[in-house]
C-alpha cells in the first residue's frame, strides 16, 4: 500500500503541474489574442533639415588678427569656418564656433586670406557663404639715397638778416647781409619830420623814431640816411613805408596818416575825451590808453606799455588829427 500511495502522490503532482502549465499557456494566449498588457514601440525621431546659407560675412583686419562676423542662421547649432589663400579654394576648416564671430590669429602679415562660413546642425552642413578676403599689412621699409654732390646751388646771402640793428658797426661786425626797416611803429613813420606814433606800445604817443642810432633824441632817424648807412656797412636795406589811405571819421579826409610829430601829441587825451582810462602815461598825465572801461583794469605783471584789459570799451569818435597828419607823397 505504501508503494501504491507514493505512485499516486507522484502522479497527482505531475498532473497538477501540467494543469498549471496549461493555464499559464492559456492565459498568455488569451492575453496575446486580446492585445492587452503591453504598448506599441515608439516611432524613431525625425532628422532636421540642414540649415540655410550664411549671409553677411565680413572680414576685418586688425593688429595681427582678422575678425570674422556673420548673420545668425535659424536652426544652426554651430558654424564651420574655412580659410584659404585663393578665392576659389581650396578651403580648410579652422574653427567651429557656436556664435557668429571668430577671430583668426594664426596669420602671417602681408598674406591675403579668403574665408567662407557654413551653418551646421544634426541635419548636415548648409551652403557656404560668399567668400570674403582680408590682409594684415606687413612692416614697410624704404631706402632713401641722398647725393649731396648733385643739384647743388648757393644759398642766398640775404637770409642772414636783422630788423633794426643797433648800429652800422653791428652790421659790419656780424656780417649781416640784409637789414629791414619795418614793424609796428614804423608803419606810421613820417619821413618828413622823422617821427612815429608808438601806438599801443606806449600810449599811442608821437615820438622821434629811433633807428640805427641816427636819432638825436629831439629828431628821429632819417630813413634816407638809414639806407645809405646800411649800404655803406655792407648790407642790403629793405624799407617798410606807409602808403595805404584811411578815411578820418571826424574830418572825412582820406589820406595816408602818419605821425604828427612831437611828444605833446597823443591819440587819446583824457581832457578832450572826458574819460577815465585804465592806464595813463606815467610821463604825461593827459595821455591815456584809450580804454574807456573794461571788465578789469588790473595788470598781470608789469605790462604797462602794451597791456589790453579784458573786454575793453575804447573811446569812440577818436580824431586822427590828434596825433596824425595826412601825408602821401606821389611816387
Q: What is the CATH number of the domain that holds 259?
A: 3.20.20.80
- d(CA 3, CA 90) in angstroms, rounded, equals 95
Helices in the chain by DSSP H: which ranges?
2-34, 168-174, 223-232, 270-273
Mean pLDDT of 14-28: 39
Give the range of the structural domain holding residue 119, as residue numbers without chain letter.
58-135
Q: Do both 115 and 249 map to the same domain?
A: no
* 288 in Cβ contact with 268 (< 8 Å): yes
Q: Do both 192 and 271 map to the same domain?
A: yes
Residue 38 lies in a domain: no
Residue 101 lies in a domain: yes
Q: Do both 183 and 327 map to the same domain?
A: yes
- d(CA 14, CA 8) in angstroms, rounded, equals 10
Residue 47 lies in a domain: no
N-term to C-term CA, the chain = 177
Question: Is residue 191 over pLDDT 50?
Answer: yes
Residue 127 cell numbers, joined: 551652403
Q: Do both 215 and 183 map to the same domain?
A: yes
Distance, C-alpha 65 to centroid of its chain: 25
Total H helices, total E strands in the chain: 4, 19
Q: Do both 83 and 209 map to the same domain?
A: no
Residues in the chain, overall count: 331
Residue 18 lies in a domain: no
Q: Do both 314 and 184 map to the same domain?
A: yes
**Backbone phi and psi for residue 20, each to the nearest 5 degrees, phi listed first:** -60, -45
Residue 128 lies in a domain: yes
| Number of domain units in the chain | 2
Read off the pLDDT of residues 102-111 as tens digits, 9 standing for 90 and up.
Answer: 999 999 988 9
**Which residue, among 300, 257, 235, 307, has the nearest Cα to 277 in the 3D structure?**
307
Residue 50 lies in a domain: no
More confident residue, 199 or 241: 199
Mean pLDDT of 142-162: 86
What is the rounded average pLDDT for all residues in the chain? 81
Predicted pLDDT at 43: 65
Q: Do both 209 and 70 map to the same domain?
A: no
Please tell me which of 19-23, 68-72, 257-261 the model is most confident about, judged by mean pLDDT.
68-72
Q: Do both 126 and 189 map to the same domain?
A: no
Other Cβ atoms within 10 Å of 162 Cβ, number: 15
Q: Do both 121 and 179 map to the same domain?
A: no
The domain that holds 114 is classified in CATH as 2.60.40.10
DSSP helix, strand, coil percent of the chain (3-state; round to 5): 20, 25, 55
Residue 1 lies in a domain: no
Q: Do both 331 and 207 map to the same domain?
A: yes
Select from 103, 135, 167 the last residue of a domain.
135
Q: Do both 293 and 205 map to the same domain?
A: yes
Residue 282 lies in a domain: yes
Question: Is residue 149 over pLDDT 90?
Answer: no
More confident residue, 2 or 144: 144
Amino acid at each position: 500500500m505504501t508503494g501504491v500511495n507514493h505512485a499516486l502522490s507522484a502522479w497527482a503532482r505531475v498532473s497538477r503541474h501540467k494543469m498549471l502549465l496549461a493555464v499559464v499557456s492559456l492565459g498568455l494566449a488569451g492575453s496575446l489574442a486580446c492585445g492587452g498588457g503591453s504598448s506599441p514601440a515608439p516611432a524613431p525621431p525625425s532628422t532636421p533639415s540642414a540649415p540655410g546659407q550664411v549671409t553677411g560675412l565680413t572680414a576685418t583686419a586688425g593688429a595681427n588678427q582678422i575678425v570674422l562676423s556673420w548673420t545668425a542662421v535659424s536652426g544652426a547649432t554651430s558654424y564651420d569656418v574655412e580659410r584659404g589663400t585663393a578665392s576659389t579654394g581650396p578651403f580648410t576648416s579652422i574653427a567651429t564656433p557656436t556664435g557668429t564671430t571668430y577671430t583668426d590669429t594664426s596669420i602671417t602679415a602681408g598674406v591675403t586670406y579668403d574665408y567662407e562660413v557654413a551653418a551646421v546642425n544634426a541635419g548636415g552642413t548648409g551652403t557656404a557663404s560668399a567668400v570674403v578676403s582680408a590682409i594684415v599689412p606687413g612692416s614697410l621699409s624704404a631706402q632713401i639715397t641722398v647725393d649731396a654732390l648733385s643739384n647743388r646751388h648757393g644759398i642766398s646771402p640775404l637770409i642772414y638778416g636783422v630788423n633794426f640793428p643797433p648800429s652800422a658797426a653791428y652790421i659790419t661786425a656780424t656780417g649781416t647781409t640784409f637789414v629791414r626797416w619795418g614793424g609796428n611803429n614804423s608803419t606810421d613813420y613820417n619821413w618828413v619830420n622823422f617821427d612815429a606814433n608808438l601806438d599801443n606800445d606806449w600810449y599811442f604817443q608821437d615820438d622821434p623814431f629811433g633807428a640805427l642810432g641816427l636819432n638825436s633824441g629831439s629828431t628821429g632817424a632819417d630813413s634816407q640816411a638809414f639806407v645809405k648807412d646800411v649800404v655803406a656797412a655792407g648790407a642790403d636795406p629793405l624799407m617798410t613805408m606807409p602808403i595805404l589811405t584811411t578815411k578820418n571819421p571826424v574830418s572825412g579826409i582820406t589820406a595816408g596818416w602818419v605821425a604828427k610829430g612831437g611828444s605833446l601829441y597823443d591819440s587819446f587825451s583824457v581832457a578832450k575825451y572826458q574819460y577815465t582810462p585804465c592806464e595813463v602815461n606815467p610821463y604825461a598825465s593827459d595821455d591815456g590808453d584809450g580804454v574807456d572801461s573794461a571788465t578789469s583794469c588790473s595788470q598781470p605783471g608789469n605790462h604797462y606799455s602794451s597791456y589790453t584789459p579784458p573786454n575793453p570799451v575804447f573811446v569812440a569818435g577818436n580824431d586822427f588829427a590828434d596825433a596824425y597828419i595826412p601825408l602821401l607823397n606821389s611816387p
